[in-house]
Chains A and B, each alone.
Chain A
Amino acid sequence: DTAVSQTPKYLVTQMGNDKSIKCEQNLGHDTMYWYKQDSKKFLKIMFSYNNKELIINETVPNRFSPKSPDKAHLNLHINSLELGDSAVYFCASSQDRARGPGGNGYTFGSGTRLTVV
């Protein structure tokens, strides 16, 4: 199946731990993103990579470090987890940064629900 897949789906961890979330897309898209959705459903962009190059880096604590080994993969590593990091993290991808007529928008992964206790 063509899709954006994220692992793990659920992540429960203690404060202070370090964790990683992995994302892979087999859609042949050029650009990948990390979004954070909080408890009020607000979707906020964190990072974006285009062909392994970081192009968007929002005001995010430097405890969050994205890494894109190739254009099909985008991982997110979080150091020293805090209670406020609890949220759903979505990976997404788009072709040509969703521009132009006939663009198909962003395809989102199923999300990783991170709970910090």
Chain B
Amino acid sequence: QQPVQSPQAVILREGEDAVINCSSSKALYSVHWYRQKHGEAPVFLMILLKGGEQKGHDKISASFNEKKQQSSLYLTASQLSYSGTYFCGTLRNQGGKLIFGQGTELSVKP
């Protein structure tokens, strides 16, 4: 039931791009994305609802393929501040349980 994220870890140089994937074996109502910096709380990035939408703010965007039950988070022209652990969370129905993936650790180096 837990979504699977890939890769588990990625190291980037400033300015490089990255993609983090999140897959579920079950039909999904929505996908959330969060970023957690070391020793801090997870911070909400965006929600995607079924319907195959794509969202973005600043240089971080995401897509949701409802048919494949997959979502991808795109980080372009990465900055040092993007470092942290990224979690996807999936909801199978409105008002259901938000189940998180195992996380992807992203490190951006100068």
Residues on A lying within 8 angstroms of B by beta carbon are 33, 40-45, 48, 55-56, 58, 90, 97-101, 103-111
Contact = CB atoms under 8 A, between A and B. Distances in A.
A107 B97 contact: no
B95 A99 contact: yes
21 contacts: A42-B102, A43-B42, A43-B87, A45-B98, A56-B97, A58-B97, A97-B94, A97-B95, A98-B91, A98-B98, A99-B30, A100-B49, A103-B30, A104-B44, A104-B47, A105-B32, A105-B46, A105-B47, A106-B89, A107-B44, A109-B41
Contacts of B44: 104-107
A108 B42 contact: yes
Given A41-B85, A99-B29, A107-B44, 10 more contacts: A90-B42, A98-B30, A98-B91, A99-B91, A99-B94, A105-B34, A105-B46, A106-B89, A109-B41, A110-B40
A114 to B, nearest CB: 15
A105 B94 CA distance: 13
B102 A108 contact: no
Contacts of B99: 45
B73 to A, nearest CB: 14
A90 B94 contact: no
Q: Which of B29, B41, B44 has the most CB of A within 10 A?
A: B41
A97 B46 CA distance: 15
Contacts of B49: 100-101
A106 B32 contact: yes
Nearest to B96: A97
B6 to A, nearest CB: 16
What 9 pairs across the A-B complex have the smallest Cβ distances? A105-B44, A108-B41, A43-B100, A97-B95, A99-B94, A103-B47, A41-B103, A108-B42, A110-B41
Interface string B24-38: 000001101010100
B11 interface: no
A17 to B, nearest CB: 25
